[in-house]
Chain A
Amino acid sequence: MSMALVLLIAFVGLAFDFGRIYVARNEAQVYTAAAALTAASRLDGTLAGVQKAREAVEKLPGSWNLGTQRIKDVVVEFSSDGSAWTGAPQKDQTASRPWAYARVIAPANDLNIVFLRAVGGPANFRILARTSAQSNPVRLTE
C-alpha cells in the first residue's frame, strides 16, 4: 500500500513538475525569439549597432514560470557569419564582414521542483533557451 502511494505521488509529481517545466521552456523560448529579433533589428554592421542591440534587449520585458518571474542573466552574442559568436565584439567590421547576426541565450533560470524532489528528483531544473537571428532581412535563423 505504501509502495503504491509513493508511486502515485511520483506520477502526480511527474504531471505537475513536468507540466511546469514544459510551460517554462516554451515561455523562455518565446522570449529569446523576441529578443533575438529585437537585437537583429538594431544591427547595422557597426559596433554602435551592437550597442543598440544590447540596450534594446535589456529593455525588452520577458517573464517565465507561468509569467511570474522575470527572465534574468540574458546573454547576447554577435557574429558576422552566423557560426563564430562573441559576446564582446571589439572591432568595427563594416567594411569587410559586418555584424549581422545576434544570438540570445537565457542560461540561468532555475525552476524549483516541488513533487519529484520528494521521491529523489533534483531540487531545481535549469531552463535553457537560445535563439539566433540575422539582420537585413531580419529573420530567425535558429
Chain B
Amino acid sequence: MLLLSLLGGAVQFGYTFYIYNQLVTAVANGGKYAARRTYRGKDVEKGAAAIRNLVVYGDPHPEGDAVPVVPNLKPENVQVKWKLSQSGAPAFVDLSIVNHRIDAVFGGISISGRPSVEFPYLGRYAPAEVEPWGADGGRIWSKQRSCCWCFSPCCWASSIVAKSCSRTRR
C-alpha cells in the first residue's frame, strides 16, 4: 500500500509539473508574440483572440481540428491585459492562465493567475487600423467546406495550391 502510494504520488506530481511547465512555455511564447504583434487600436479583441490562440494551439489562426498544447486548455483560459501608456500606446502586455484545471491521475489541481508573464510592447502601434484579415486567419471559408474565397488573387492561388479549402479555421 505504501509502495503504491509513493508511486501514485510520483506520477501525480510528475505529470502536474510537466503540464505546468508546458503552460509556462506556452504563456512565454504568447507573450513574445504579443510583444511584436501590431497593436491595432480598432481591433484589439481580434488581436487578443490571435494571442490566445497562439498560447493554446501554438498558432494564432489554428485549423478547426487543432489540438491544444495542454489538455483541456481553452482560449478563454488565457487572459490578455494591455498596459497602456499615457498616450494610449501599449507599454506592456500581460498574459496569464485563469480558471484552468490540471487533471492528473488522482484528481486535479486548479490554477488561476499563474503562470503569468509580462513583456514590454515592441511592436508597431496603429491606433486607427483594423486587422487586415478576420480572426479566421484571412480567409472566408464556405459553409459547405468545399471551397473558400477572398479578395486577394494570391489568397486564391495559395489556397488552391495548398488544397486547404476543405478545412475550417478558427
Q: Which of the 9-residue segments A17-25, A74-82, A92-100, A104-112 touches chain B?
A: A17-25
In the complex, the answer to whether A34 meets B118 with C-beta atoms within 8 Å is yes
Which residues of A in the span 50-74 have a Cβ within 8 Å of any Cβ on B?
Answer: 56, 60-63, 66-67
Give the tally of cross-chain contacts (CB within 8 A).
75
At the interface, is chain A mostly helix, strand, loop or mixed? Answer: helix
Is A138 an interface position by the 8 A CB rule?
A: yes
Q: Which one, A19, A23, A60, A138, contacts B118 given CB within 8 A?
A: A60
B interface, size bucket: 20 to 34
- Closest-by-CB residue of B relative to A19 is B17
CA distance A15 to B31 in the complex (A): 29
Q: Which of the 9-residue segments B3-11, B56-64, B126-134, B152-160 touches chain A?
A: B3-11
Is A26 an interface position by the 8 A CB rule?
A: yes
In the complex, the answer to whether A30 meets B6 with C-beta atoms within 8 Å is no
In the complex, the answer to whether B10 meets A15 with C-beta atoms within 8 Å is yes
A interface, size bucket: 20 to 34
Q: Which of the 9-residue segments A6-14, A83-91, A119-127 touches chain B?
A: A6-14
Q: Which residues of A contact B120 (CB under 8 A)?
A: 34, 37-38, 41, 56, 138
CA distance A126 to B2 in the complex (A): 32
Is B40 an interface position by the 8 A CB rule?
A: no
Q: Which residues of A contact B111 (CB under 8 A)?
A: 67
Q: Which residues of A contact B165 (CB under 8 A)?
A: none
In the complex, the answer to whether A15 meets B28 with C-beta atoms within 8 Å is no
CA distance A38 to B35 in the complex (A): 10
Residue-wise, chain B 101-144 has the 8 Å CB interface mask toward A (1 for contact) of 00000000001011111111010000000000000000000000
Q: What 9 A-B pairs come out closest when comparing CB atoms?
A: A67-B114, A19-B17, A30-B28, A15-B10, A38-B120, A12-B10, A15-B14, A41-B120, A23-B21
**B→A interface (CB under 8 Å):** 2-3, 6-7, 9-11, 13-14, 16-18, 20-21, 24-25, 27-28, 31-32, 35, 111, 113-120, 122
Given contacts A22-B17, A56-B120, A138-B122, 12 further A-B contacts (CB under 8 A): A12-B6, A16-B13, A23-B24, A30-B25, A30-B27, A31-B117, A34-B31, A38-B120, A60-B118, A61-B116, A63-B114, A67-B115
